[in-house]
Structure 1
Amino acid sequence: MIDDQRTAALREQVAGLMPQAKTDLAQLVSLRSVADPKQFPQEECERAAQWVADAFAAAGLTRVGLHETPDGSKAVIAARPAPDGAPTVLLYCHYDVQPPMDEAAWRTPPWELTEKNGRWYGRGSADCKGNIIMHLTALRALGADLPLGVTLVAEGSEEQGTRGLELFVEANPDLLRADAILIGDCGNFAVGVPTLTETLRGGVNVVVTIETLAGAMHSGMFGGPAPDALAALIHLLASLRDERGNTTVAGLPNEQVWPGVQYPSEQFHADAGVLSGVDLTGDGTVADMLWARPALTVLGIDAPPVVGSSAAIPPIARARLSLRIPPGTDPGRAHEALIAHLEANTPWHAKLTVELEGIAAPFRSGTGGPARAAMEAALAASYGRPATTQGQGGSIPLCNVFADTYPGAEIMLLGVEEPACLIHAPNESVDPKEIERMALAEALFLATYTG
């Protein structure tokens, strides 16, 4: 239990900081910090990095610097050393964001924080600039009354998956060493439901190429016996799921059950924007399919477009595949299983090429430690209800690097994101109440965790 008087005082302090939080988030959202120089100027990421460094220096962290990582991005590291005998907490976030995608699909300007129906809209407002503001507001609420050590690390290329910070941590382990690590890049099961994310799916991304002919041939003269590369690809992709939508790659576990919070199908229909009358896929519950079982997604296909296509048999077709895997599944073996399935199901002895794009291990956090107990108490005090747990379908490979580099640290995943935020999609937004409640929970944790 956390003292009611302390909770009330910090609650008032955080509430008073929310106008500043909105101003700060507006400044951050206006910076087009997409870590892809082919799409956006690199200077935008550099400006965002400097903004984060200056803000946390002003909030009381004393050792502040921008560190270049192996992929060329800058990691912001700011620290305030722990008093003798006190623990150190590492706060993680990232300042780079996804591109806005289809700007015409946005109902508000993507790079301008806009309040609408009680939410704040803008690219990065939740993922992950909203979590930067969560950390910043918690530290501002505590001010000089900080009984432990705090280190802040803000990554600059998380959305690109280029492993800049991962490689940096492995080469500089002492810079971020801590007793507890708060990964501020997740969120709650729903608005107002305090949630700790316990598992992350790993992933295997590949590009599949099917070739059947030396070149395109007239479909009237050669169609029938001539093997159609696009048809072969469609046949192969159809083999990856059964008629109910279960992933069918042999050797991957497909009957596991999620033991934690359940996700009502009606809520998932709404959260995922599933069209009326369209069925969900898979034999398990929504939670089983999201967090406990593998999921194969076709991310894209290279084939002749409908407009401009001719009466010709396609000689080549390609597809990009994403295989998400749950904790307990080795990513190397998953990759081998996927390759074996593709080879076994390619029709007509068509020429198959599979290129590995990326591979990431799944993650499961520990439970039951002193940091976890302190955070559960802090979340309960902030939200007025006990915290629950969930899995997350996405991957955060850095978590495994942290676990390997700091095996004694407790790692907890949390943040301001929730399904209505629409992260990575047009019309991303954040509920400011989630920033306020999560900042209060983090401040209470930092004030009470003793290691």
Structure 2
Amino acid sequence: MTSEPSRPASVRDAATGGIPAALADLGALVRIPSVAFPGFDRAEVQRSAEAVKALAEGTGLFESVQIRDAAIPGTEERGMPAVLATRAARNGRPTILLYAHHDVQPVGDETLWDSPPFEPTVRDGRLYGRGAADDKAGVMVHIGALRALREALGDDLDLGVALFIEGEEEAGSRSFASFLADNADALRADVIVVADSGNWDAVTPALTVSLRGNARFTMTVCTLEHASHSGMFGGAVPDAMMATVRLLSTLWDEDGAVAVEGLTVRDAATPTTYTEQTLRDEAGLPEGVQPVGRDSILSRIWNKPSITVTGIDAPSVRNASNTLSPEISVVISARVAPGQAAGDAYQAIAAHLRAHAPFGAQLEFGDVDLGDGFLVDTSGWAVADARDSFRDGYGVEPVDLGVGGSIPFIADLVRTFPEAQILVTGVEDPHARAHSPNESLHLDTFRHALLAEALLLERLDARTL
């Protein structure tokens, strides 16, 4: 006489058996160029939303599946289409909100791709394509885990589920707060899983417990009323490029560490196993070019602020002439240590720049975009369940990590749902190259992530609040 398999074993079998279908559906999503940036075709984002809606409906799990958008505050525009699917909890079970996004970054220079960016291509155990990792893999981890849960538990499934697949995360989530306000009742949950982060490496799962915030803005430096001949007036008249270069250089000290008063540093321990060679390998830092900053490498990219100049409006090399530039504009992107408000960090940087403006240069600031960082309370039961599920799904001990990047909308989730336990997970590994040419997904990581999430859902379905 053979006994029936346990619930976890049934979910494991269903998740494992569903991986080929999940990967096929992921490939179909990658083929849709769902870029939500201005100037790109909104119809493709709509097509992507419709594809995700069909996938959600196909799970047979939800009572309602809709495509919705929300107003962009301060404008008459509507945000990009998102998918919202819901089912109510039964018999005292918790409700989980599963978040990912179906929009992707622009391709950039297509000649830098080794295969077409919207043609999913498998090479050496990785799936290449724009959005293959960030974040259509996150979408399919959710869908695949829900399929497995439905297949294994059938009508015995009591867990409440809200599935929220956003359509404009890469473009700044401009309507996110409005979407939360409009749909607060449908989105309210005991546990929120944000599948938009990464893992320690290709085999070790991680729970993201801290995220830096961001403060991004445009600064225009003006020194002249109009352009002038550099031969006639150079040496006496400060051109805007000279002033800009001098001013920007004050943002860092001799070691390349940020030198702005008022920016805080989070005091937290970091693993010691991350070496300079690991940094070179993961970031593409060639030998001979030295890392910047001080203290451990992980403390620099997890717990300290950073400042990067990400764009500049100035005469191009091709169009250069013997002219003193009257004004120069730059985009400054700062990452803010977890625990400091992004608005306070922006004010500190702006005050520093005003105080150090050379030659009386006039400064203007605009296009300010702020997002607060995030710190996880790791004492909750959902964190313990997630760690157990990672261990079971990946077969190795999970780790906690910080992330140097930002997911600003998490602060909106915290404000709207202060009682929810938030778990930040993901399927990226350090070689995923999200946002870059040749973005890719490590296929074994995807398989383990899908299995781990299915086991987490089973654990939550067995929990009575």
1:83 paired with 2:90, answer yes
Structure 2 counterpart of 1:20? 21
- How far apart are residue 242 of structure 1 and its match? 0.8
Amino acid at match of 1:288: S
Structure 2 counterpart of 1:259? 269
Structure 2 counterpart of 1:364? 375
User: How far, CA to CA, are the matches of 1:10 and 1:173 in structure 2?
Assistant: 30
Structure 2 counterpart of 1:102? 109
Structure 2 counterpart of 1:134? 141
TM-score, with normalisation over the residues of structure 2? 0.93
User: How far, CA to CA, are the matches of 1:136 and 1:261 in structure 2?
Assistant: 33
User: How far, CA to CA, are the matches of 2:319 and 2:173 in structure 1?
Assistant: 36
TM-score, with normalisation over the residues of structure 1? 0.96
SS at match of 1:221: helix
- How far apart are residue 77 of structure 1 and its match? 0.6
Greater Cα offset, 9-18 or 263-272: 9-18
Q: Is the 8 A contact 1:133 1:435 kept in 2?
A: no
Structure 2 counterpart of 1:55? 55
Greater Cα offset, 49-58 or 305-314: 305-314
SS at match of 2:198: coil
Q: Is the 8 A contact 1:147 1:446 kept in 2?
A: no
Q: 1:397 to 1:170 in 2, by over 3 A?
A: farther
User: How far, CA to CA, are the matches of 2:173 and 2:28 in structure 1?
Assistant: 26
* Superimposed CA distance per residue, residues 185-238 of structure 1 (whole angstroms, 9 cap, x where no aligned partner): 112011111100011111111111111112221111111011111010000010
1:448 paired with 2:459, answer yes
- How far apart are residue 58 of structure 1 and its match? 0.9
User: How far, CA to CA, are the matches of 1:159 and 1:31 in structure 2?
Assistant: 15
Q: 1:265 to 1:257 in 2, by over 3 A?
A: farther
Amino acid at match of 1:321: I
Structure 2 counterpart of 1:116? 123
Aligned-CA RMSD value: 1.5
User: How far, CA to CA, are the matches of 1:17 and 1:365 in structure 2?
Assistant: 31
* Superimposed CA distance per residue, residues 265-323 of structure 1 (whole angstroms, 9 cap, x where no aligned partner): 21111110012211111012111111111100000111111222111111111111011
Q: Is the 8 A contact 2:218 2:368 kept in 1?
A: yes
Q: Is the 8 A contact 1:302 1:319 kept in 2?
A: yes
User: What is the number of residues matched between the two proteins?
Assistant: 446
Identity of aligned residues (%): 39
User: How far, CA to CA, are the matches of 1:321 and 1:141 in structure 2?
Assistant: 45
Q: Is the 8 A contact 1:199 1:362 kept in 2?
A: yes
Matches within 5 A, 1:211-360: 211-254=222-265, 256-262=266-272, 263-360=274-371
1:200 paired with 2:207, answer no
Greater Cα offset, 379-388 or 418-427: 379-388
User: How far, CA to CA, are the matches of 1:19 and 1:288 in structure 2?
Assistant: 39
Structure 1 residue ranges (4+ consecutive) displaced by more than 6 angstroms after TM superposition: none
- How far apart are residue 356 of structure 1 and its match? 4.1
User: How far, CA to CA, are the matches of 1:45 and 1:344 in structure 2?
Assistant: 44
SS at match of 2:170: helix
Q: Is the 8 A contact 1:90 1:178 kept in 2?
A: yes
Structure 2 counterpart of 1:29? 30
Amino acid at match of 2:199: N
- How far apart are residue 10 of structure 1 and its match? 3.5
* Superimposed CA distance per residue, residues 353-375 of structure 1 (whole angstroms, 9 cap, x where no aligned partner): 12242011111121111111111
* Superimposed CA distance per residue, residues 302-347 of structure 1 (whole angstroms, 9 cap, x where no aligned partner): 1111222111111111111011101121222111111110011110
User: How far, CA to CA, are the matches of 1:287 and 1:361 in structure 2?
Assistant: 20
Q: 1:185 aligns with which of 196, 202, 223?
A: 196
- How far apart are residue 5 of structure 1 and its match? 5.6
Amino acid at match of 2:46: E
User: How far, CA to CA, are the matches of 1:444 and 1:22 in structure 2?
Assistant: 19
SS at match of 2:377: coil
Structure 1 counterpart of 2:399? 388
